[in-house]
Amino acid sequence: MMPGLPVLWSRPIVLLTLSTIFWGGNAVAGRFAVGHISPFLLTHLRWFILAMFLLVLFRKRLQEAKELFCAGWIGFVLGGIALGGFNMFFYIAAHHTTAINLGILQGSIPIFVIAGSFLFFKDRIGPLQSVGILIGLTGVLVLASGGQLMRLVGIEFNIGDLYMLIGCGLFSAYTLGLRKQSNGDEIIGLLLFSITAQIVTVFGVAYELNTGELFWPSVEGWLIVFFVTVFPSFLAHLFYIRSVQLIGVGICGLFLNLVPISASLMAVTLLSEKFGVFHAVSLILVVLGLWLAQKPTLDGAGRNHSSSS
């Protein structure tokens, strides 16, 4: 049982709901961060602080971490690159697009993962999954075009949405790469990915320093660093892992549908962003597509590593 959380630790529905709220809140935090901390520094501090925290928390299991890393170091390095890259694109996208867009596009990651499983691992995709993927991608196109699909002909995208789509691609690659990882404790795996991700993001900080775009966090910036480190990075993953242990991966995967919804609600409530008709259409399409794409896994079989970090 998780110390200090005796009641929550046995309630997977509550844990999953909190996880999706925290992941949805990451989109809002990304928008709040604009003007308070540079995006690559935010990414680096997020993973650096988490890595240091986990190293202290699990200091008695460092030998286990070392053995796990040696068994699959290539995967952890590539995973750290993908994970760190995702967050850098995520936070720089927040400078150019809305939290609503960030949240909805983030909800498309599991759909990309399913498509990637078919392309790279030859996993079977049923008719229902195929329909779900097409519906979800249509939702992404509606959002990226601002509800004006004719803009796609002229390749007129919001640059922030393009950054976010690149980030989603990286996170999908990270998720697919987990299939090749050695078996081991998932929290120790999170520790190793945190270490490699914060090393990778040093290059982003160096870029900001070289171009004069680096600026140290304000008081509000430090609060944002605290939030994204503790809630989306640590607690959300911890709660999700615990829920998988309690009720299986299939049902847990369905809760990812709530991430774009929670992000949109918080963006409207906390940031006063306008929620247009095309947002509603896109959100419905992405969530419906995700639900259909994951429906065959409702029995809990297989492995689903998707999350919205």
Domain contains 302: no
**How far does the chain reach from its first CA to its final CA, in angstroms?**
24
> Is 108 or 215 the better-scoring residue by pLDDT?
215
Domain contains 306: no
Structure tokens given for 303 = 């492995």
Domain contains 82: yes
165-211 per-position pLDDT tens digit = 899 889 888 878 776 655 556 788 889 989 999 999 999 999 999 99
Query: What mean pLDDT, rounded, does the chain reach?
Result: 82
Residue range of the domain that includes 246: 8-297
**Alpha carbons 256 and 16: distance in angstroms, whole number:** 9
Domain contains 1: no
Question: For the chain, what is the total number of helices (H) and then of strands (E)?
Answer: 14, 0
Number of domains in the chain: 1
Burial-class residue 187 by CB neighbours within 10 Å (0-12, 13-18, 19+).
middle
Instruction: Please give the pLDDT value at position 26.
Output: 92
Q: How far is CA 111 from CA 38, 96, 134, in A?
A: 30, 24, 9
Averaged pLDDT, 268-279: 85
Instruction: Please give the pLDDT value at position 34.
Output: 92
137-159 per-position pLDDT tens digit = 787 777 766 666 565 554 456 78
Averaged pLDDT, 112-127: 79
Domain contains 231: yes
Domain contains 308: no
Q: Are the C-beta atoms of 280 and 288 separated by less than 8 Å?
A: no
Percentage above 90 pLDDT, the chain: 30
Give the count of alpha carbons within 13 A of 40, CB side only.
Answer: 18
Instruction: Please give the pLDDT value at position 301.
Output: 41
pLDDT band at 304 (very low <50, low <70, confident <90, very high): very low
**Alpha carbons 25 and 262: distance in angstroms, whole number:** 7
Domain contains 282: yes
77-101 per-position pLDDT tens digit = 888 899 899 999 999 999 998 888 8
Instruction: Please give the pLDDT value at position 42.
Output: 96
Domain contains 166: yes
